[in-house]
Amino acid sequence: MDVTLQNAPWLTELAKRDELAGLRSSARRLCDQILEVAPALAEALNLAGVIALREQRNDEALAYFTRAVSVNPLGAMYHRNLCEIYRIEGEIDLAISHGEQARQLAPNDAEAHYLTAVAYYFRLEMARSIECCRQALALDPAHALAHFHLATALLVTGEFGDGFAEYEWRWKHPNAPVMVAQATTPRWDGSATDETVLLLCDQGYGDVIQFARYVPMMLERCPNTVVSGPEGMARLLDLLPELQSRFVPLDAVPDHAFHCAVSSLPLAFRTTLASVPTTIPYIDAGKAAKSRKRKAARRRIGIVWAGGASHVNDRNRSAPLAALTPLAELEGIDWVSLQVGGARAEGEAVNWPMETPLGPEPSFVETAAIIRDLDLVIAVDTSVAHLAGAMGKPVWLLLSHAPEWRWMLDRTDTPWYPTMRLFRQKSLGDWTGLARDVRDVLSA
């Protein structure tokens, strides 16, 4: 069908349906055709921006949304989308500006309130973030993402009671693990029982390590606990002797009366800021092979600069190794790379001599063996930082300006790991400034 000025609006609606149905290539081609004929059609510009954003072509998405707003400055959805793309790109002030315009233009749009709440989180204005979340939920009580973001804003400010309750909405998140979203038995509420309870490793390795501290307490109340999760979790459980013999694959889960996600254990145990279990260490590295003998009179410091690229916030939590080179200026240190994954290659491009004792896919037992004989671990927010903290090793954690909820705000310590010290960016993305701060402390 030929595109004309007359049928362009109708074809835009057709392209929207294609995009919603997952036919993104078809929707993109149709948008391109529409915009050749009607370059000032705001709806088509916005849809082209949505498609570009979902395909991570952020520069194009920003350009399309900006053009849509210039055509129709009163289009709340266009301001809403600019809020999101500016937030992703780290332009937080612009994100909030457009988010507030969207809220004013469409005060009954729950999504506008939610996206503005996320932007305020990245500016560390948690009271405003919480306020926007509550407005979104007043309009749409089933808005799972608003509930989940409210949880993070409450938890990061230490409101663990309401925060962990809201955190259960992560099960309704579009990216929720299928094994949790489809659980059919009642959720375990922390009560003692002799019936079988299924403990699900529902998030990443770092989360499992962080919340594994609750396992001994759970086993006292539920001696017939079995644990399951992705196949790779079995390698982590080599360091958790209480669970190692209880692991079953997801396709072999036995009949059970209750289930509980590992990340729900703080809620089950009614955790408050004052009652976080801090029996450290709780990771058993005893079976790890002895690492090689160290050189005398020199500090051995492990370093990790990047997490898994698939993490939703990896662009903010991971650092380019080149940005951390102020640390390489220090003398008397043997640097040991604990980095895995594609970011390992950065070590070859930077003038920073360091040992690389780990293979490309080491087990947690192998990593623990190296950590055990280090003086200090310096890491961004990854599972290795959790592992070192759970082992009771000194850890210096390098945090993005807007950290995950577990690290809270305005403090250099954490209730989760007594041997961990927190270093925070002064502005979003400033890893070099943070590295200089760490260097100065390390050289003192």
**Residues 315-374: pLDDT tens digits?**
899 999 999 999 999 999 999 999 999 999 998 889 899 999 998 888 899 999 999 999
Residue 213 lies in a domain: yes
Question: Which segments of 320-391 are extended strands (E)?
Answer: 333-337, 376-380
Shared-domain flag, residues 255 and 332: no
**Parent domain of 357:** 299-443
The ranges of the chain with pLDDT < 50 are none
Shared-domain flag, residues 326 and 232: no
Shared-domain flag, residues 151 and 61: yes
Give pLDDT, residue 373. 93
Residue 260 lies in a domain: yes
Shared-domain flag, residues 77 and 144: yes
Give yes or no for a contact between 381 and 407, defined as CB atoms under 8 angstroms apart.
yes
Give pLDDT, residue 64. 96
d(CA 148, CA 128): 16
Residue 21 lies in a domain: yes
Shared-domain flag, residues 204 and 147: no
- Last-in-domain residue among 101, 133, 166: 166
Give pLDDT, residue 295. 59
CATH number of domain containing 205: 3.40.50
Give pLDDT, residue 226. 95
Residue 73 lies in a domain: yes
Shared-domain flag, residues 12 and 160: yes
Q: CB-based contacts of 259: which residues, under 8 Å, 6+ apart?
A: 183, 185, 186, 187, 188, 197, 198, 199, 200
Alpha-carbon distances, residue 65 vs 70, 105, 403, 408, 432 (angstroms): 9, 16, 28, 33, 32
Q: What is the pLDDT of residues 204-219, one digit of tens each?
A: 899 999 999 999 999 9
Alpha-carbon distances, residue 263 vs 214, 226, 239, 259, 359 (angstroms): 10, 15, 18, 12, 29
Residue 204 lies in a domain: yes
Give yes or no for a contact between 315 and 291, defined as CB atoms under 8 angstroms apart.
no
Give yes or no for a contact between 156 and 403, defined as CB atoms under 8 angstroms apart.
yes
CATH number of domain containing 381: 3.40.50.2000
Shared-domain flag, residues 140 and 222: no
Residue 83 lies in a domain: yes
Shared-domain flag, residues 65 and 127: yes
Give pLDDT, residue 173. 81
Shared-domain flag, residues 53 and 153: yes
- Last-in-domain residue among 166, 194, 211: 166
pTM: 0.92
Element (H, E) at 267: helix 265-268
Give pLDDT, residue 166. 97
Residue 77 lies in a domain: yes
- Please tell me what DSSP assigns to residue 374: -
Residue 197 lies in a domain: yes
Shared-domain flag, residues 195 and 256: yes
- Last-in-domain residue among 134, 166, 198: 166
Give yes or no for a contact between 99 and 79, defined as CB atoms under 8 angstroms apart.
yes
Structurally, the chain folds into a number of domains equal to 3
CA 204 to chain centre: 9
Shared-domain flag, residues 421 and 334: yes
Shared-domain flag, residues 211 and 345: no
